[in-house]
Structure 1
Amino acid sequence: MGLEIESRPSELPYLERVWRSCSEDVSAMMSVATSHWELVFWERQGEVQAAVLGPEVRTTRAPVPGDAVFFGISFALGTSMPHIPVCRLVGGNAAIPDVTRRSLWLKGSAWHVPDFDNAESFVLWMVREGIVDLDPVVPAVLDGAASDISARTVQRRFVAATGQTQGVIRQIHRARQAAVLIQEGMPAQEVVHQVGYFDQPHLARSLKRYVGRTATQLRAPDAAEPLSLLYKT
């Protein structure tokens, strides 16, 4: 069966996506680079755990506990938890202690564990309690809006809110977009022009670094080592 993943976008400005998955007969996956940090819960053999996963600026192979159920909230770029700076989480994670099926502790308070359907309500609680914040400069600049602050200040705020530079975010986004197009059957040469690579070798290097697969491998997925969540943006 492998790793089955279901996801949906969110209209809440603090969220990028909500997802859930289950694992069967798979022990590892290729974790694709992502600019977003996530709050992830998983349950296996009656034990519930949770962690904040930081952005990943390159691919990594990650173990997958067998017969486990996962649920994740992927936060929008510019969103952060001030008490756990995103820059400290890049390529890493922070475990959340004392999690049960019903409750978890965040910043000294007990919370009901969210699920796939009520993630937005849970995040709005976090916002109201000051656990999650959003720097409006980041989404505004990503949407192409002109900024009235200096480029240096914009870059500094990007790094503080996302743990990455604008350049790295664009490269990751482009590689993920290219991977989805290739999986959908678009020829590599067309992908080069569609997403703005110089040539096919440039595309190949980017895919290898940020997705961990060649174009040929993306067209023939490896069920024994699936990819983490890829989706159209």
Structure 2
Amino acid sequence: MTSYSAWKSAHTGATLWRSVARGHEQHVAPDGVLDLMWHRDRLVVAGPDSRSMTVATQPGAVTWGLRLPPGVAHALFGVPVDELTGQRVELSLLVPARNLPDRAVDSDPPGALERVYRALWAQTEPDPARLRLAASVDHAARAGVSVTASAVMHDIPERSLQRLCRNVFGYGPKSLMQIHRFQRALRLVHGGMSPSAAAAAAGYFDHPHFARECRRLTGRTPSELAAGTGRNP
């Protein structure tokens, strides 16, 4: 288990977060996002997860991270995000060290993450139009819009939408929608709603549909997940 807090970064909408491990393992459910993290004395890029992960932790260990807005990781790191799916990759393997600030990280992890993020942004200058498109596609997926309807909404062929999503999110638009729906139901359960009511509110056909997707994505039941989950490396 971890404690988790988040607030908006001052730069381009990234979310700064801090996680403190409370036990010896952490179950990480897919959430459709990428993070730049300071974890175990390393700068690490956490790719999007398509299945739940169990990570060994030390009680009290602190991880800091920046949750990147849609499309930003593809722009900053210059690789299709599906190459990072399910991976935790040291930043130095994606970005030459000479392009990163050289000030110490361990004395000020959140400040260092901001400096690295600003430096990468200045070097790559992401295209605002591409970021707006990625944000709109992500918003449609969160709203449960079908792949066909999303392609029409964004005036692009379905094949182009598939390619776009793999490049910027790490998986196709249907998987992105399913993961966002799962996370929406999970938040409702954590807020005190029953699994059946949460399933209906999140857009599942019924509770068994939610339960099947829970098992597929995490190997666990909604009741087991209701005990708590979070984003950690």
- With the length of structure 2 as denominator, give the TM-score of the two structures: 0.77
Residue 85 of structure 2 aligns to a residue whose secondary structure is coil
Alpha-carbon separation, structure 2, partners of 1:119 and 1:107? 14
| Cα-to-partner distance string for 1:36-88 (whole Å, 9 max, x where unaligned) | 11111035xxxx22211110011111111344221011112222234343221
Structure 2 CA distance for partners of 1:207 and 1:13, relative to 1, 3 Å: farther
| Residue in 2 that maps onto 1:63 | 56
Given the alignment of the two structures, is residue 36 of structure 1 paired with residue 30 of structure 2, yes or no?
no
| Cα-to-partner distance string for 1:200-233 (whole Å, 9 max, x where unaligned) | 11111112233554232244x2xxxx62239xxx
Q: How far has the Cα of 1:168 moved from its partner?
A: 0.5
| Residue in 2 that maps onto 1:91 | 86
Taking the TM superposition and a 5 Å limit, the aligned residue runs for 1:1-233 are 3-10=2-9, 13=12, 15=14, 17-24=15-22, 26-43=23-40, 48-79=41-72, 80=74, 81-97=76-92, 106=96, 108-111=98-101, 112=103, 113=105, 115-116=109-110, 122-130=116-124, 135-136=130-131, 137-144=133-140, 146-219=153-226, 221=227, 227-229=229-231
29-38 or 146-155, which moves further after superposition? Answer: 146-155
Kept after mapping to 1: 8 A contact 2:80/2:166: no
Structure 2 CA distance for partners of 1:214 and 1:186, relative to 1, 3 Å: same
Residue 65 of structure 1 aligns to a residue whose secondary structure is coil
Residue 148 of structure 1 aligns to a residue whose secondary structure is coil
Residue 129 of structure 1 aligns to a residue whose secondary structure is helix
Kept after mapping to 1: 8 A contact 2:195/2:223: no
- Partner AA of 2:34 in structure 1: W
Structure 2 CA distance for partners of 1:143 and 1:37, relative to 1, 3 Å: closer
Alpha-carbon separation, structure 1, partners of 2:123 and 2:3? 34
| Residue in 2 that maps onto 1:101 | none
- With the length of structure 1 as denominator, give the TM-score of the two structures: 0.77
Alpha-carbon separation, structure 2, partners of 1:109 and 1:9? 25
Structure 2 CA distance for partners of 1:149 and 1:106, relative to 1, 3 Å: same
Residue 124 of structure 2 aligns to a residue whose secondary structure is coil
Aligned length: 212
Q: How far has the Cα of 1:155 moved from its partner?
A: 2.0
Q: Which runs of 5+ in 1 are unaligned?
A: 99-104
Q: How far has the Cα of 1:172 moved from its partner?
A: 0.6
Q: Which has the higher helix share?
A: 2
182-191 or 4-13, which moves further after superposition? Answer: 4-13
Alpha-carbon separation, structure 2, partners of 1:57 and 1:12? 28
Kept after mapping to 2: 8 A contact 1:34/1:172: yes
Structure 2 CA distance for partners of 1:206 and 1:187, relative to 1, 3 Å: same
| Cα-to-partner distance string for 1:146-170 (whole Å, 9 max, x where unaligned) | 3233232222112112221111111
What's the Cα RMSD here? Answer: 2.9
